């Protein structure tokens, strides 16, 4: 009668409760699938806010939101793309709180307004050359990227640096795939033109 009473008690008072199992699973996903993308998230955040402290705050906010809403993430899928979308939304929310135009909720609109507020001041994108481009590009390339319009810099970063597909970029910044293709094509052509003089000075033959 009492043979399996101990097993019943152990089962009833198992220290690994469903809540703890759920938390452990979340922690595992967070550590294995989310944390490895911290540097990439920082690069994207820095491009958006042009300030190291603000970029760090935005990444922190992104991870807080990602953990809070981790149930919406499907384990084993593209965590990097999902996190970039979370960061984009966090950026928009932060901008709305501090902006003179809080009604702007579209990523493209926010970038345009931010550019207008900054005027002709360039982003500090070149300050990221060591982390982002040091192993593949020189200063002239990062300077050329720096003076691209921000919407062009965004697709260059997402596609050519972070390796996202057109479809993923479309979902991250909320524009049609056709617009992604067109914008990336124009960005690359503009970048190629800007680098032509530098390439010639280095002894390369170029056709622009």
- Contact by Cβ (8 Å): 99, 113: yes
Domains of the chain plus CATH, in order, are 1-118 (1.10.1740.10), 122-208 (1.10.10.10)
Q: What confidence score (pLDDT) does residue 137 get?
A: 53
* Torsion angle of C-alpha atoms 39, 45, 48, 54, degrees rounded to 10: -120
Say how far apart CA 177 and CA 169 lie, in whole Å: 8
More confident residue, 96 or 154: 154
pLDDT, tens digit, 9 for 90 and up, residues 73-119: 998 899 999 999 999 999 988 877 766 655 556 677 666 666 655 55
* CB under 8 A, 24+ apart: contacts of 27-32: 29/70, 29/73, 29/75, 29/79, 30/63, 30/66, 30/67, 30/70
pLDDT at 6: 44
**What's the pTM value of the predicted model, to 2 decimals?**
0.72
Is-contact 198 192, C-beta < 8 A?
Answer: no
What is the rounded CA–CA span in Å between residue 79 and residue 88? 14
Q: How confident is the model at residue 147 (pLDDT cuts 50, 70, 90)?
A: confident
Whether pLDDT at 3 is above 70: no
The whole-number pLDDT of residue 125 equals 43
Which is more confidently placed, 84 or 5?
84
């Amino acid at each position: 009668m009492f043979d399996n009473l101990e097993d019943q008690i152990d089962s009833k008072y198992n220290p690994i409760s469903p809540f703890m199992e759920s938390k452990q699973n979340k922690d595992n996903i967070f550590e294995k699938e989310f944390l490895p993308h911290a540097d990439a998230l920082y690069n994207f955040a820095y491009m958006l806010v042009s300030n190291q402290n603000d970029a760090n705050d935005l990444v922190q906010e992104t991870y807080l939101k990602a953990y809070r809403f981790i149930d919406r993430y499907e384990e084993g899928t593209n965590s990097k793309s999902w996190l970039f979308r979370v960061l984009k939304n966090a950026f928009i929310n932060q901008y709305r709180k501090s902006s003179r135009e809080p009604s702007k909720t579209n990523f493209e609109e926010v970038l345009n307004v931010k550019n207008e507020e900054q005027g002709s001041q360039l982003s500090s994108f070149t300050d990221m050359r060591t982390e982002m481009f040091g192993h593949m590009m020189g200063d002239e390339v990062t300077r050329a990227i720096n003076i691209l319009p921000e919407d062009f810099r965004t697709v260059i970063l997402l596609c050519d640096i972070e390796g996202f597909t057109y479809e993923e970029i479309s979902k991250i910044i909320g524009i049609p795939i056709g617009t992604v293709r067109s914008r990336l094509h124009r960005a690359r052509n503009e970048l190629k033109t800007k680098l032509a003089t530098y390439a010639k000075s280095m002894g390369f033959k170029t056709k622009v």
